[in-house]
Amino acid sequence: MTHLFSGKKSHHIIGSSDIRVIGPRASGKTAFIAALARYPNAKIDSPVISVDPHDDDSRKLIIMAQDILEKGSAFAPTPFAEDMNLLPKYTLAIELKPKFAISKNTKLEITCREYSGEIIKDLRGGSSGINLSNYLDDCANNTLGLLLLIDATSHQQEAEYAQAFEKLEIELNERLVGANKPLQNYRIAVVFSKTEQGEAWVFRHDLQQFINLRFFKTHKVLQKWAKKWGCSINYFFCSAFGTRGKPARPNFKMRSRDEGGTYGVIANPAVWRPFGLVAPIYWLYTGKDDQRLREIEE
């Protein structure tokens, strides 16, 4: 991302733990992280000053975004790996403007790893060939929390998501309690991707209504999880591709659609400007909700 001018010193928040990105296949996990790392065409008044890679895997991801997404192509599915240790970790530094002029900038150093969508299938009793126990151990070990990424247009699959997340809670509970780790410190960000799509876009100012109407079962399971653990769960809208034009329309060229969601590529890479990507990351690392990061350009 091109740095926007800022003469302020930064207050550093260095993540002591990682986060894990979990979601069904084609929910946009790789696109989410790649768009975050690339962070293209940020507006001059954006609260995000810069996003910079801190390791080779993150740099490669930016190159992939340029070579694939910005050329109108789509990422391949997240690689299937029996052992999650074979999956890359991405470390990024995100610098934010202060809310108040007298304050310092905030700089987050974050590390995340995304899992292939097979984990959702296997949590529901499937057998894709991954070492599920290995993945779950990783989720419970040295992780601050989870980013659950769900395609906002995939509500026909929400009963399956609810079932998978119910099992995920049981498995993580067992591991965290066994390791004497406090459940109340865990954070879960539930992020609905592809919000630029019409059926989600109409709810862009009312996330709660969207959840109640489209993902009621999933929400009910997550509410039960939060109550049982005493932990924090928060919900977000995002779009890795963003919108274009006035009035805003999806910067998205559809390739296919089914009950699992909507699939496509960036329609106009020259005006590619994602939204909502930093908000859940900031909340996971700080426990604070910055409304500036939730703003959706119309």
| CATH number (domain holding residue 167) | 3.40.50.300
Q: Which long-range contacts (CB under 8 A, 24 or more apart) does 226-230 make?
A: 226/188, 228/169, 228/173, 228/183, 229/169, 229/173, 229/183, 229/184, 229/186, 230/183, 230/184
pLDDT for 255 equals 87
Residue 48: enclosing H or E segment and its boundaries?
Answer: strand 48-53
Whole-angstrom distance, CA of residue 194 vs CA of residue 181? 34
In-domain check, residue 295: no
Structurally, how many domains does the chain consist of?
1
pLDDT in tens, 42-96: 999 999 999 999 999 999 999 999 999 999 888 877 767 777 888 899 999 999 9
pLDDT in tens, 124-144: 987 777 889 999 999 998 788
Whole-angstrom distance, CA of residue 55 vs CA of residue 57? 6
In-domain check, residue 274: yes
In-domain check, residue 224: yes
Which structural domain, as residue segments, surrounds residue 126? Answer: 10-290
In-domain check, residue 4: no
In-domain check, residue 220: yes
* pTM of the complete model: 0.94
In-domain check, residue 251: yes
Whole-angstrom distance, CA of residue 124 vs CA of residue 165? 9
